[in-house]
Amino acid sequence: MKIRKPLLVAIIFSVIMMAGMVPATVMAIASQDAAQNTLGLDSTSDLSTKGTYYYQFINPQPGDTISGLVTIKLQANYDGYTLYRVRVRVYQGSTALTSYYDMYYQGNNVWQINWNTENYNDGGNYRVRFVLYRSYYSYANLYLNDLTINNEGGSTPPSPPPPSGEKIAVFFWATDAGTSTVINKYENILRGEGYTKFFKFRDSTNVQGACQSVDSYEDSNDIVFVYIIGHGNNNGYHSLTAFRAYSQSVVYSNQFRSWMDQWEATRKSILVESCHSGDWADDFAGSPYLAMSTSDESHVSYGMGALPGEGKFSYYFFRHVDDGYNAVDSFYYARNYCSNQYPKIRDYSSYEWFIN
């Protein structure tokens, strides 16, 4: 840390060109007699300029019952201009059923998502998430909610609800980087997300033993989020974090991964706030992890002020979570403010983090 001196699915995306420019709001597309819809801007790299997203669901509508091969059609643009990219993912409740499918503009005017619902169990609470990008950093989320699949009863029972388990947060922090006040603030935010069990390891001198304590508590149904703040570096192969400057209490990213792999939980995420922390993301690439680092291997991570205190990336990340956004959205939001740190993310989790 340094003292301070962001389905089967095939998509064809298209845009209706709107006349004129709409001032700093976010709206949706009008097609013939259809009413306009508006969409709030979730993140922008240019905070002084916020335009308008226009969108309209053509087929199906939220709340519809669908079956077989469904062509989901959407119209969208940003102030009449072509969108840069759209990401699509299917959920049932808060559980992601597919990975993100990325589509870049190819000159068409309607987004068509072919979804073979026969690959899914009959039942409700399905939704399709669209992430609309006007630029690399600026985006808005759009959901086609409350879809029910009914393939004439099908041959399989409705999908069971995901295991509830317990939401567990694990904090490791160096007191010459972070403070108890900041950790307590993050704890309160996570309590609002339904977390009930907290492990707090301050200036840990036995990180492996701490991980074993978590291992003894958690089980396969649990949801475990790990937050680490300390002083970081790398050895050319892996990132490392120290829990006191100039101390011997050092842990390497690949080493910590091996300890977390022992945990039975199938929903695990980690965020590391330290300099040169990029290998923390890379070493956790693979199911079932969502892994985030506040910098890459070559750059420092900055604080909001003199240390010990609060990391700049973490400040914006947890603020966005507290505003009701999921972890992936909050990562990109924080990255907007910390682009010179080159934060990294590796998302191999089927779970949507921090959405109750």
Query: What is the structure's pLDDT at 55?
Result: 82
Report d(CA 206, CA 56) in Å as an integer: 55
DSSP structure class, residue 264: -
Q: Is residue 13 within 8 Å of residue 83, measured between CB atoms?
A: yes
Mean pLDDT over 241-263 rounds to 83
Of 164, 300, 165, 280, the residue nearest 226 (C-alpha): 280
Find tokens 């939220």 and name the residue: 62
Mean pLDDT over 156-177 rounds to 77
What residue ranges do the domains of the chain occupy?
Answer: 37-149, 167-347
pLDDT bucket at 181, cuts 50 / 70 / 90:
very high
Query: Which secondary structure element, helix H or strand E, spans residue 58, and what is its range?
Result: strand 53-59
Multiple choice CATH, 37-149, 3.50.50.60, 3.40.50.2020, 2.60.40.10, 3.50.40.10:
2.60.40.10
Of 230, 189, 186, 178, the residue nearest 207 (C-alpha): 230
Query: What is the structure's pLDDT at 258?
Result: 96
- Domain covering 167-347: architecture: 3-Layer(aba) Sandwich (3.40)
Q: Which two tokens stand for residue 34?
A: 């259809």
Of 153, 149, 161, 154, the residue nearest 7 (C-alpha): 149
Which CA distances in Å does 344 have to 5, 81, 223, 272? 23, 29, 22, 10
Main-chain dihedrals φ then ψ at residue 117, nearest 5 degrees: -75, -10
* Cis before 60 (ω within 30): yes
Spell 318-332 as b/e; 16+ CB within 10 A means b: bebbbeebbbbbbbb
Query: Which secondary structure element, helix H or strand E, spans residue 267, and what is its range?
Result: strand 267-273
Q: Is a pLDDT exceeding 50 seen at residue 284?
A: yes
pLDDT bucket at 160, cuts 50 / 70 / 90:
low
Q: Is a pLDDT exceeding 80 seen at residue 145?
A: yes
Tell how far CA 166 is from the center of its chain. Answer: 20
Question: pTM for the complete prediction?
Answer: 0.62
Instruction: Compute, in degrees rounded to 10, the torsion defined by CA atoms 170, 172, 177, 180.
Output: 60
Report d(CA 335, CA 315) in Å as an integer: 11
For residue 40, how many other CB atoms are within 10 A of its CB?
A: 12
